[in-house]
Amino acid sequence: MSDLTHTQRSLHAQTSQRLARLHQLGFADRPDEEFDRFSSALARDSGVPGALAMVNAISDRQFFTGVHLPSAEELGSVAEAEALAAAVGRVMPLEHGYCPETMDRTKPLTLPDVCMKPDFAGNEVVDLVGIRVYMGVRLIDKEMEIPLMTICVVGRERRPMKDGRRMLDYIKQRGAQAQYLLDQRISALS
């Protein structure tokens, strides 16, 4: 395990516990209509043109319990929308994207231009999906005291650096809303 990054080691240490909880909640391997609607609103209200948004259940992989992909109308091309849907889907390896990194942070991660940070510019989603913007925050299972999921918005056009503060405020606000939804689901188990 020595060749794993710090983030991968942290995630790996809690994988079995997190996966069991995600299965218990029904988030490990099936879409959730409420989180799909949440993702659509998250993308729509983000101010990021052609945004993708996800509610991401993270275990030994990433599973998008909620997802919003831009329409052909938003992208200006049916072929582009179909290619994006094929590239993203509902499942992604842990090595792709920035949500695994977000799980290891106590604060949101906002990147108005992922290419400005060498650690993030080399991520496979930059080429696979064309991601240039990321904002995400983790959701905590307060009973188990572990990070369980993330919400995120990604875009394919970089934002001006001055948008960083607005992005941070937005994802924090939406993170609080998503945390409430998660807390409600956890409470319903009791």
Per-residue pLDDT reduced to its tens digit, 15-41: 788 999 999 999 999 999 999 999 999
Instruction: Say how far apart CA 81 and CA 94 lie, in whole Å.
Output: 23
Residue-wise pLDDT tens digits, 151-166: 999 998 888 878 889 9
pLDDT at position 4, please? 44
| Beta strands 52-58; 62-68: pairing state | antiparallel
Q: Give how far Cα 105 sits from Cα of 79, 101, 130, 139, 184, Å.
A: 36, 7, 24, 11, 23
pLDDT at position 69, please? 95
Amino acid at 74: E
Per domain, the residue ranges of the chain are: 6-189
Instruction: Say how far apart CA 163 and CA 31 lie, in whole Å.
Output: 31
pTM of the complete model: 0.89
3-state secondary structure of 75: helix
**In this structure, CATH architecture of domain 6-189:** 2-Layer Sandwich (3.30)
Instruction: Say how far apart CA 68 and CA 103 lie, in whole Å.
Output: 20
CA dihedral 154, 65, 30, 19 (to 10 degrees): 110
Place of tokens 């609607």: 37
